[in-house]
Each structure stands twice: as structure tokens, then as C-alpha cells.
Amino acid sequence: MKELNIDSLSGKRIFLGVSGSIAAYKAADICSQLSKLESDIHVVLTAHAAKFVGEATFRALTRNPVLVDIFDEPTAKRIAHIDLAQSADLILLAPASANLLAKMAHGIADDMLTTCLLATPLSTPILAAPAMNTVMWEHPATRANIETLQSRGVQIVEPYSGLLACQDVGMGKLATIEEIVNAVVRRLHQNQYLAGRKILVTAGATREPLDPVRFLSNRSSGKMGFAIAAEAASRGADVTVVSGFTSVIPPDGIEVVQTLTAQSMFEECSSRFSSCDVFIAAAAVSDFTPIEPSDQKIKKSSDNDNQFLSIELKRTTDIVSTLAKQKRKDQVVVGFAVETGDLLVKAHSKLASKNLDLLVANDVTQQGAGFDTDTNIVSILWADGRIEDLPLLTKREVAEHILNVVKPMLSE
């Protein structure tokens, strides 16, 4: 293998997980290359992986303890699987067998490696390099598991087609060592360009009370906003999420400010806006709120002829528009537009009227897009008229695209 001409990984702590595939022997070469880049590598083998390549090999390459059994505890200072999971700058799974991918997707933790993975903060980058028979790779269960993992931010280093150990020819051959190591380097280095930057994100749905038990709201789950927050945190940003109602667990490594109404979300964002470098308004904020919410539960009338209830509504504060008009030249403001038709016409109008730098627009009537899904189909619009239409992607992948677009807009 040719020597890799890439940056040093000095000071980076890498967790290398090796699962039971014949390609496990290549993990030793991956480990060797990462060691030459001065990274601190900690290896965990599954019991099946240890049948292919022994602990002593990785111990010699890393000068660190190598764990297999869930009860392995090389130090009394901290529980091993917690320490390994929470101290890593990046987790690399190479090779990742179909069995390991399935356990990861379903949260199974029945050995040291999968227990570590379940204890890993959501903000920690995870790269998985699969290796398996073609039929296993193409099986619907494996494809579904990979989609699930990608929706959670796991990066797949794709296998390629070739002669497999079983003598079949097809997809499933482990990516080259150079490709895997380069993927590690890119992920660790490119993701730190937001270090020192403050990112303010809104997520979820606001709720406007009608009475003590009812409210006006929408179907937003918060998945898009928290995907952006997780991706920004993984790139080194100091992230605050002002959140309405959500159905997802917030990622680790970010500050979450819980709000309920559009007004309370506006107040929390307004108090933080001047100190942020980027404001990304991904929440679904109610446009209207009752003028006078009832302080008692609204009862049905006993009059059978009275079948209607009238509630007066007033406009809420347009959070992103109000704050964007206050932005400094060195601030970037990104808005979202959820539409149900004439997407680009409406999006262009919002982009101009709200004084935004970028607008991310999506039509929720498209299959795989919109509220409470793990995927999205969006168009990114620039203030100068440029448009980029993205295909169906996971929300984490959409978040990556958004932050990649934001990068050149940030002042040095």
C-alpha cells in the first residue's frame, strides 16, 4: 500500500471497532496507518472478530488495552464502555458486518462493542465500513438498517464490487484501507471549521394555548432542527437550540432552551441573537395565536343548535424576519419555508421579504419530505438568485449540505 500523504491526527482519540468478518485482518493495517498519523487508537473486538485476528496484534499496534469481553475493565477509574464511548473523537467500525449494522440500528447491546456504541454521544462522528457477502449487502433488512443508521448521522464508507472471500463476485468488498483512513482524516479535520463559532438553531413546533388542555400547533417533530444542531456540534460549533415541542431526544453536546409558544421562542432567540454567528430557523412556528385564551376548559354547549365555536386569532411575531432585519454584516441567517405548492415562487418571495442569506424550502406533499420523517427533499436558495435542488436525503445529510453552504459565507 502506498504511503498516505495526509495531515497528522495528533491528539485525536479514535475508537476502532472490529466485527466478525473475514476482512477483520485488514483492520490491523487500518490501525497501523492511523497509528502512523499519531492518533491515539483504542480497539474493541467482537468475539467473532477475535477468531480472525487476535488481541495481541492490536495491542502491539496501539500500545493500548484491547477489549473483547463486556466485563473487561483495564482500569478501575471508570467503567470501560462508558469511558471508551464518551472519550472518542471519532468511532470507526471496520469491518462492519451485517450483524453489527443490525444491532446498531435496533439498539442491541449484548457485547462490549455494541454496548459502547449505545453509550456513544449522538454528536460523536461514527464511520462504518461494511464488508459482507453480496446477498447480505443487498438484503432488504441490511438496506433498511443502513438507511436507519444514516438518518442518525452514521457515515457509510461504501464497499465495492470484487472477488469476495466466498469466491462470489459482487458488492460487499471492504473499501480500500486508503479510502477508509482518508475518510477518517476528512471527517476529523473538516468538521472543526466551526470551532469557536456560536450557532443558534430553532427546532420543533410551537403550541398556542386555546385553554388549559387544548392548543394550536403543527406536525413538526424537531428532527430537522436537531439534525442541524448535531452536525454543527460535530464540526466544533457552540450550539444552542431554542426548542418547541419535539418527538426526538436532543443530541449531546448542545444547549437546549425549552419554550412553548411563538412569543416565548421569539424572546429566547432575541436575547441570544446578537451573540451568535449563525442563526438557523428550522422550527415550525405558529403564525397565529388566540387573542384571549380561556383560563378554563372550553365546554361543549348544551344547546344542540350551537354547533360552532369562534376563536379570534392574531398574528404572532415572525421570528426569523424580525431578527434578520437586525443582523450584522458578519452574521448569517438561514430560514426554512414549508409549502404545499408553488414552492420556488413562494420561497423566492420569503427570501427577499425576510432579508435572509439562505432559505431552505421543501414541499411537504412530496413523499419522503416534510414533518416527522427521517428524510427530506429540499431546495436551497441564495439571496443572489442561485438555487440548489437536493434529492431525497436523510435529514442529517441535508444538515451537512446546509452547513457546507454556510461555511464560505462566514467572515474570517
- What is the pLDDT, as a whole number, of residue 76? 61
pLDDT confidence tier of residue 1, bands split at 50, 70 and 90 = very low
How far apart, in whole angstroms, are the C-alpha atoms of residue 262 and residue 204? 11
CATH topology of domain 198-288+304-409: Rossmann fold (3.40.50)
- Residues of each domain in the chain carrying CATH 3.40.50.1950: 13-190
Q: Which of 31, 116, 166, 276 is catalytic?
A: 166
User: What type of residue sits at position 121?
Assistant: P
Average pLDDT of the residues of the chain: 89
166 is catalytic: yes
pLDDT confidence tier of residue 73, bands split at 50, 70 and 90 = confident
- What is the pLDDT, as a whole number, of residue 4? 43
- The DSSP string of 2-67 is PPP-----TT-EEEEEE-SSTTHHHHHHHHHHHHHTT-EEEEEE-TTHHHHS-HHHHHHHHSS--B
3-state secondary structure 329-355: CCCEEEEEEEECCCHHHHHHHHHHHCC
pLDDT confidence tier of residue 3, bands split at 50, 70 and 90 = very low
Q: What is the mean pLDDT of residues 101-109?
A: 96
- Asked which of 22-26, 72-76, 247-251 is least confident by mean pLDDT, the reply is 72-76
- The DSSP string of 278-309 is EEEE-SB--SEEESS--SSPPPPPS-TT----
- Residues of each domain in the chain carrying CATH 3.40.50.10300: 198-288+304-409
pTM score: 0.68
Q: What is the mean pLDDT of residues 42-51?
A: 95
Residue 71 DSSP symbol: T
How far apart, in whole angstroms, are the C-alpha atoms of residue 250 and residue 253? 9
- Out of 187-201, 290-304, 382-396, the most confident range is 382-396
- Asked which of 49-58, 108-117, 192-201 is least confident by mean pLDDT, the reply is 192-201
The CATH code belonging to domain 13-190 is: 3.40.50.1950
